[in-house]
Chains A and B, each alone.
Chain A
Amino acid sequence: MANEKWGMVIDLDKCTGCQACVVACQSENNVPINDEPLYNQRRASAWIHIERYWEGEFPDVKARFIPVLCQHCDDAPCEPVCPVFATYHNSSGLNVQVYNRCIGTRFCANNCPYQVRFFNFWEPSWPETLKNQLNPDVTVRSRGIMEKCTFCIQRIHKAGRNAKSEGREIRDGNDLDIRALDPACVNSCPTNTLMFYDMNDPESEIAKLAHDELEHDGRGYHLLEDYGTHPSITYLKKVDKDAELHHDSH
């Protein structure tokens, strides 16, 4: 596993804002439970969150959704500011967070334009009944450190190990592999809004989709492009007939 560059395509046209990905992520990655006090303190963590916009004036209102998660930027602003290399870019194109190394300066969180880094203000705790649901493959982060979406690196590694033990490479198109490899949010998405694969794989449908939509005046765009972060996530615009009409009339 040397030349991958894991990436995601998010087709906003398909997103219904159901928040399944949020729940899946929360349980897959042992993200602390966001209870009411935590929300009131504005300290809730959700590695992926669906942001909702309202467009138009009442009663002609439209809800718009955009799932926001760590963009795993190639030129991530969060990385160079960490004094202890607790976050860096690995060879698979992932922006990784080393929990053990983190000392909690919160510099990276300030320098992330997408606001997708979360800080453990308190020691995380779960109700007794939920103790057994914690994912054994994922560290429970102590207080005082940053955490963020990892593209479910534990699943990527597991899939890689499985493939290796069977003496093959991870391939696109093989459903079973993809299922095991996909992050929890992608797996749980009912409308297939989220698509995840190696962007360096020329055979991959998803990589092709991202490439085509970005290049040929398609629907593809990167979030906050003018920061020059070169994210690994490509968003596809919502197809909106009314909006286009509106736009053309200008």
Chain B
Amino acid sequence: MTHISQNSASDHGTSNDVTLDLVNRHSHTGNLFRISAVILSILFVLGIAGFVLRITTDGTSNNDKWGYYAAVFAFILTTAQGAPMVAIAPRIVKAHWRRSTSRAAELWALSGFITTLVFVPLIFVLPGLEDGRRSFWFYHEGEVARYIPHYVGALSVVAMALAGLFLLWVSSLPDLAYIRDHQTGWRQKWAKVFARGWQGTSWQWFMVNHRMGILGAFYFMMLVFTHFVIVADFLMPFVPGWIDALFPATHAFNALQGGVATVLVTLFVMRKFGGYSDFIQFDQMWGLGKLLLATSLLWIWFSFSSFMIFWFGKKPNELYTLDLLMTGPYLWLFIAVFILVFIVPFFTLIWNPVRRSTWGPPLIACFVLVGTLFDRIRLYVAAYSVPADADMHGPIPLDLVPAAVYPDVFDILITIGVIAGAVLIYMLGTRLIPVINIWEQRELSIYQVHKRFHRTEVQVLGKPE
């Protein structure tokens, strides 16, 4: 194994060394990996069992039985599927620290399989438009197809998953070519299939960069649109009077926070257990820590903006919504969310010693992830528990706020199972595609140079274009 410097892979080793080193690390599978994969598989199977039991005992007609299911779907959508944004956004502003984190982030696009899978039963749970519920299709009897929200929802979930997978594929093309050329066995065969034709001509490089830009922008748009569709047609219509124009944006921006947190935890695991500590350094944690702080501030700003209008407005429908989602049955959950998603990240991350460490930001990210799960539970379980016969348009009596719904065994199994499934598919993905972006690392060694400036050492960062 080649020697890798403290700060960055490019300092001392040549770029070929880096490539070989990374390819070697990539093909090595440890025992810890095997054990955790087995455990996750068992949990995933248990989750499937829980789902089967749920569907056989309760059917799909009861909304309130499916609240937790919807919540965990939204959780995966907001965290794992938000993670590729951590590769896309810094790439657009050409931040160099992204280079060793971008693949780890993009690989989370694989969780698109899980969300698509989980979304299928939800289609059957949700009522059609004929009940007079609000919808962004401005439904009047017979004007649009009854199940149009279901079609559009499904389409956008699938399109987002596909966009993520394509992005992952395009950005890993050159790396797959390395594996094809430097590995043997099934990895080579696999890489041969997917890296077909890659030779590294300048046209191919140009196209890779070009496609990554377009797919990245497309992924972001799909992310925003999917969250919008899910919120406008699968969350808000259940609550009479929840008319919150900001919430689709809040939901989508939560995905940025969730994505940053997911990537931070992933990086920590890679550093601690995956043997990539030479690549994942302060720089990455620091950059992502700043992003986590920024997104936490975004969270409080968006949430407060919504809350302020409802609190000040005091219309009956607004009071109902506030009571249902915040101050009523889910008060303690809301307080937990507030602390985990805002208070903890804010008051720790403004503090440099925490932000400038390799353990600080990932630890905070764990809090944020738990907080995001609670947040989704608070919203979805509450919304799905509103009686289906609630009048959506008339005055809303406050005593209609339903009691808190606690999870039963099936819910817990499903929740853990789905999360385990997402993590499992990520782990399997790391076996096929290197979890550190090899070609971006090589590119870094071109554009990041350390040199002498009179009496001091400075880093020179090149900005092509």
Contact = CB atoms under 8 A, between A and B. Distances in A.
A123 to B, nearest CB: 34
A228 B312 contact: no
Interface string B367-397: 0000000000000000000000000000100
Interface in B292-324: 312, 314-319
A226 B396 CA distance: 9
B395 to A, nearest CB: 6
A225 B312 contact: no
A32 interface: no
A226 B316 contact: yes
A39 interface: no
A75 interface: yes
A177 to B, nearest CB: 36
A119 B317 CA distance: 31
Contacts of A77: 314
B395 A225 contact: yes
A139 B319 CA distance: 39
Interface in A196-241: 225-228
A75 B319 CA distance: 13
Interface in A133-151: none
Contacts of A104: none
Interface string B309-343: 00010111111000000000000000000000000
Interface string A60-87: 0000000000000001010010000000
A80 B314 CA distance: 12
A226 B312 contact: no
A28 B37 CA distance: 85
B314 A226 contact: no
B312 A80 contact: yes
A226 B241 CA distance: 11
A227 B312 CA distance: 12
Contacts of B319: 228
Contacts of A226: 315-317, 395
Q: Please classify how large the interface on chain B is, using the bins under 10, 10 to 19, 20 to 34, 35 or more.
A: under 10
Nearest to B394: A226
Interface in A148-198: none
A77 to B, nearest CB: 8
B395 A227 contact: no
A75 B314 contact: yes
A75 B312 CA distance: 11
Contacts of A80: 312
Interface in B407-427: none
Interface string B250-284: 00000000000000000000000000000000000
Contacts of B317: 226
Contacts of B316: 226, 228
A80 B313 CA distance: 10
Contacts of B315: 226-228
A226 B315 CA distance: 7
Interface in B137-156: none
Most buried by B among A75, A80, A225, A228: A228
Contacts of B318: 228
B393 to A, nearest CB: 10
Nearest to B395: A226
Nearest to A230: B314
B210 to A, nearest CB: 51
Nearest to B396: A226
A226 B243 CA distance: 14
Contacts of B314: 75, 77, 228
B315, B318, B395, most chain A CB atoms within 10 A: B315
Contacts of B395: 225-226
Interface string B174-216: 0000000000000000000000000000000000000000000
Contacts of A225: 395
A225 B396 CA distance: 11
A172 B205 CA distance: 91
A225 B317 CA distance: 11
Nearest to B393: A226
A225 B397 CA distance: 12
A75 B318 CA distance: 14
A47 to B, nearest CB: 25
A112 to B, nearest CB: 14
A201 B319 CA distance: 29
A228 B318 CA distance: 10
A181 B261 CA distance: 67
A84 B315 CA distance: 24
Q: Which of B312, B314, B317 has the most CB of A within 10 A?
A: B314
A228 B310 CA distance: 12
A2 B52 CA distance: 65
A227 B318 CA distance: 10
Contacts of B312: 80
Nearest to A75: B314
A73 to B, nearest CB: 10
A226 to B, nearest CB: 6
Nearest to B316: A228
Contacts of A228: 314-316, 318-319
Q: Which of A80, A225, A226, A227 has the most CB of B within 10 A?
A: A226
A229 B314 CA distance: 8
A220 B449 CA distance: 80
Nearest to B318: A228
A239 to B, nearest CB: 23
Nearest to A227: B315
B36 to A, nearest CB: 53
A197 B395 CA distance: 28
Nearest to A225: B395
A227 B241 CA distance: 12
Contacts of A227: 315
A16 B239 CA distance: 43
9 closest Cβ pairs, A-B complex = A228-B316, A228-B315, A228-B314, A226-B395, A75-B314, A227-B315, A225-B395, A226-B316, A226-B315
14 contacts: A75-B314, A77-B314, A80-B312, A225-B395, A226-B315, A226-B316, A226-B317, A226-B395, A227-B315, A228-B314, A228-B315, A228-B316, A228-B318, A228-B319
Given A225-B395, A228-B314, A228-B319, 11 more contacts: A75-B314, A77-B314, A80-B312, A226-B315, A226-B316, A226-B317, A226-B395, A227-B315, A228-B315, A228-B316, A228-B318
